[in-house]
Structure 1
Amino acid sequence: MTPHWISIHALIAMFVLATALPINMGVIAFVGAFLVGTLVAGMNTKAIMGGFPADLFLTLVGITYLFALAQNNGTIDWLVRLAVRAVRGRIAAIPWIMFLIAALLTSVGAVSPAAVAIIAPIALGFAARYGISPLLMGLMVVHGAQGGGFSPISIYGGITNKIVAKAGLPLDETATMLASLGVNLSVALLLFLMFGGMKLLRQRADAIGAMAPVRRVAHGQGGAQVHGDAEGGSFGEERRTAAPDTASLMDAPAADPAAEGSRLYRMATVAGLIALAVLTLFFKQDIGFVSITIGLLLTLMAPHLQKRALGQVSWPEIMLIVGVSTYVGVMDKMGTIDF
C-alpha cells in the first residue's frame, strides 16, 4: 500500500473512531499526524508542526474569548432589552429582534450553538408573555444565528474564507455573507407567515417592560464535554463563579457595578466589538490579535471575569479544527491531496 493510501485510510479510521467513541477527533488527528508523518512520510517534528494553523488557532481563541466577556458582563442582555424596548409595543417585531440579535452575535464571532443557548431562553420568555408561538421564536433564533455565521469576522466565515483563498478559488467574502443571510432571512420570513406572524401584526402591547424571571431552559453537563461543543464546560464554570441567585440571563442581578452591570463597561464592550469590525474589515488587521487585544482591555476593567471567560472558550471545537488541519497539512506535504 502506498503512503498516500495509508494516510487516506488513517483519516477514515479517525472519523470512525471519533464517531464510535466519545473522543475529540482533534486529539486523534494530532496523534495521526505524528504517526503518519514520522513512520510513513519520514517527516520530522518541525515539518509536521508546519501544518499547524497558528493564525486560525489565534482567531478562534481570540473571538470566542471576547464574546465570552461580552456575555458575562451583561452586554448581550443589555442589547436585547434595548432592542425590545425600541419596538414600542409592536409584538410582531419581537421575533425579528431575536433574529437580528442572534445574527449580530454570530457575525462578530460567537459560535452558533453558544449564541442560540444564550438568546433562546430570553426569546422563549418573551414568547410566553406575549402569546408568540415558541416554535416560531426558537426557529427565528436558530436561523438568525446561522444567517450571521458567515460574516468575514465570524468563526465559520473566517475558516471558510481562508480555506477557499488557500485553495486559490475565486472568493467574495461579502457575497458569501449575504448569501447565507439571504437564505436564512427568506426561511425566517416563511416561518413567520406559517406560525402566526400575520396575527401578531394585528396585536400590540401597551408597554414592553421587564419580563418575569425565566429559568434557563437547558443546562450543560457539570464539566467540559469530551467532544462536541463547549456549552457544558461554560455552564459548569458559570455555576462555579456566578452568584447563587443568577438563575437566568434575564433576572441575573448585577453583583458588581464596576464589572457586571456598569453601563460604562457595557458601552466599552459594544465599542470594542465595533472596533473589531472596523479594524479587521477596513484596516485589514489580524482578527485574532485584535480580538485578544480588545479582550485584554476589557479584562483590565474587570479582572475577575477572566477565569470564567477562559472557561467558556470553545476549546473542544478549537482542538477539533486545528488537529484536523494539522493532519491535512501532513497529507498535503506527502502529496496525498494532489494524489
Structure 2
Amino acid sequence: MSAEVVSIVVLLVLFVVGTARSVNLGILGFAAAYGVGILAVGMSAEDIVALFPGDLFLVLVSLTLLFGFAAHNGSIELLVTWVMRACRGRVALAPWVFFTLTALLISLGALFAVAIVAPLAMPFARRYRLDPLMMGMMVVHGALAGAFSPISVYGVFINSYLDDQGLPVSPLVLFVVPIVFNVLVAAVLYVVRGGWRAGGRIEAEEAEETDGADGAGRTATPAGGGTATVTAAPTTARPTTYQAVTLLALAVLAVGTTAFGADITALAMLLATVLAVANPAAAKESLGTVSWSVVVLVTGMVTYIEVLQQAGTVTFVSDGIIAVGAPLLAALLLYYLAGVTSAMASSVGIISVAIALAVPFLEAGSVDPILFVVGLAIASTIVDVSPFSTNGALVLANVADEDRDRFYRQLLVYAGIVVAVGPGLAWLTVLAPSGL
C-alpha cells in the first residue's frame, strides 16, 4: 500500500475515532503525524517537529488570552447588558438582538460565543413564548455569521494558511460574505417559523445602581398575553476603568489588524501584556481561559496535513479532483464532502483538511481561489446547527427538560435540511457565478 493511500486511510480513521470516542482531533493528528511520517514516509522525528506551525500556535494563544481578560473582568457581561437593552421594546425583535450579540462576540474572538448567549436566549424564548427552534438557530447562525472575522480563530487560520501557500487572500471577503449568507438564512428561518408574528412588548424599569451594581425588576407582556416578571442578575451598565481599557484593547486589535495591517500576533500579545501589567491577578485567570483544546486541535491537524504534503497525498487527491474534468462540479463535491463530514466532526479540522487537499487544484487556476475558499468555509460551518456539533449541542443543552425531546426532533429535521441544501447553496451563490 502506497504512502498516499496509507495516509488517507489514517485520516479517515482519525475522524471516525475522534467523533465516536470524543477525542480531540489534534491529539490524534499529532500521533498520526509521527506514525505515518516515520513508518510510511520515512521521515525522522525531528523532521516532523519542524512541521509544527509555531506561528499559528502563537496567534491562537495570543487571541484567546486577550479575550480571556474580557471574559474574566466582566467586559463580556457588560456587552451583553448593553445589547440586551435593545430588547426593551418589541418581543419580535429579540431573535435579531441575540443573533447580533452572538455575531459580535465571536467576531471579537469569543470562539464559544454560543455558550455565552444560548443560556440567555433559550429561557427568554420560553418566557415570551417564542419558537425555541427559531431562537436557538438564530443564535447559531449569528455565530456562523461573525465566525470569519480577521481576528477570529477561523479567520486567522484560513487567512494565514492561504498566505503560507502563496494563494491570494481577502480577509474582508471572507468576513463579509458569510455574514450576508447567514443573515439571509436567518431571515428565512425567522419568517418561516413565525418570529415576526410575536406580539407584546418588554417593559423594563431603569436599573437602580447600588454600590456599582444594579438590580432590575422587569415586568413584561409575553407574546401570548399575560404578564411576567424578569429579574436580571445584578450588573452595572457603566464600565470600570479596567473594563473600559479591555474593551478599548479589543477595538484596537480589530482596527489595527483590519485597517492598518498590523501583525495580529504581535498586536494581540502586546495588548494582552498591557492588560496583564495593569492587573497581574487578572492575567493569571486569563491564562487559564486560553482555548488549549482548540490550539491542540488546529496545530495537530495542520501538522498532519504537512505530513500529507510530504507523502504526496495532497497532490494525489488534487489530481483526482482535477480528473473530474469540470472544476465547478469538483468544487461542489468538495463542498458536500466537507459539509456532511463537518456535521459530525470539528469544523476547524474539516476546513483545514479540505483547503489543504484543494491547494493544487486552486493553483491550477480552474476556479477563483478566494471565492472557492469562502464558499468552502460556509459549506463547512453552516451544518453546525446539527445536534452532533458543538453549537447545536450547546443550544440543545439550554432547552427546558420537558421540551428537550421535541426540540431535539425538530433540530434533527432542520439540521437534515441544512446539510442537504446548505453546501449546495453556498456553491450556487458564492462560487458558481464566478465560473458561469
Q: Which TM-score band (shorter chain)?
A: 0.7 to 0.9
2:118 partner SS: helix
Map of 1:180 onto structure 2: 178
CA distance 1:326–1:212, change in 2 (3 Å): farther
CA distance 1:192–1:17, change in 2 (3 Å): closer
Contact 2:275 2:283 in 1 (8 A): no
Deviations 1:107-164 (A, max 9, x none): 12121xx211111222334445555444433222211111000112211122222333
| Pairwise CA distance, 1:293 | 2.2
| Pairwise CA distance, 1:208 | 5.4
1:285 partner SS: coil
Deviations 1:209-229 (A, max 9, x none): 55569xxxxxxxxxxxxxxxx
Which of 120, 123, 138 is residue 122 of structure 1 equivalent to? 120
CA root-mean-square deviation = 2.7
CA distance 1:299–1:129, change in 2 (3 Å): farther
CA distance 1:277–1:21, change in 2 (3 Å): same
Counterparts of 2:144 and 2:19 in 1: how far apart (Å)?
Answer: 24
Map of 1:285 onto structure 2: 262
Contact 1:63 1:110 in 2 (8 A): no
| Pairwise CA distance, 1:64 | 1.6
Which of 178, 191, 201 is residue 193 of structure 1 equivalent to? 191
1:337 partner SS: helix
| Pairwise CA distance, 1:287 | 1.6
| Pairwise CA distance, 1:165 | 3.7
Contact 1:70 1:76 in 2 (8 A): yes
| Pairwise CA distance, 1:252 | 6.1
CA distance 1:199–1:268, change in 2 (3 Å): same
| Pairwise CA distance, 1:334 | 3.1
Is 1:91 aligned to residue 91 of structure 2? yes
Map of 1:149 onto structure 2: 147
1:203 partner SS: coil
Counterparts of 2:130 and 2:37 in 1: how far apart (Å)?
Answer: 56
Deviations 1:188-233 (A, max 9, x none): 2223323443334x633343555569xxxxxxxxxxxxxxxxxxxx
Map of 1:272 onto structure 2: 249
Amino acid at match of 1:91: V
Give the fraction of aligned pairs with identical amino acids, expressed as a percent.
Answer: 40
CA distance 1:13–1:95, change in 2 (3 Å): closer
Amino acid at match of 1:104: L
Counterparts of 1:20 and 1:154 in 2: how far apart (Å)?
Answer: 28
What is the TM-score when the length of structure 1 is the normalising length? 0.76
Amino acid at match of 2:201: R
Matches within 5 A, 1:10-89: 10-86=10-86, 89=89
What is the TM-score when the length of structure 2 is the normalising length? 0.61
Deviations 1:290-327 (A, max 9, x none): 22222222233332233433332221222121111111
Q: What are structure 1's unaligned runs of at least 5 residues?
A: 214-249, 255-260
**Structure with the larger RCO, 1 or 2 (CA within 8 Å, 6+ apart):** 1
Deviates more, 1:41-50 or 1:66-75: 41-50
1:188 partner SS: helix
Map of 1:207 onto structure 2: 204
Map of 2:159 onto structure 1: 161
Map of 2:294 onto structure 1: 317
Deviates more, 1:161-170 or 1:279-288: 161-170
1:67 partner SS: helix
Identify the structure with the greater helix proportion. Answer: 2
| Pairwise CA distance, 1:98 | 1.6
Amino acid at match of 1:105: L
Matches within 5 A, 1:244-259: 251=233
Amino acid at match of 2:272: G
How many residue pairs get aligned? The number is: 294
Q: What are structure 2's unaligned runs of at least 5 residues?
A: 207-214, 219-231, 317-436
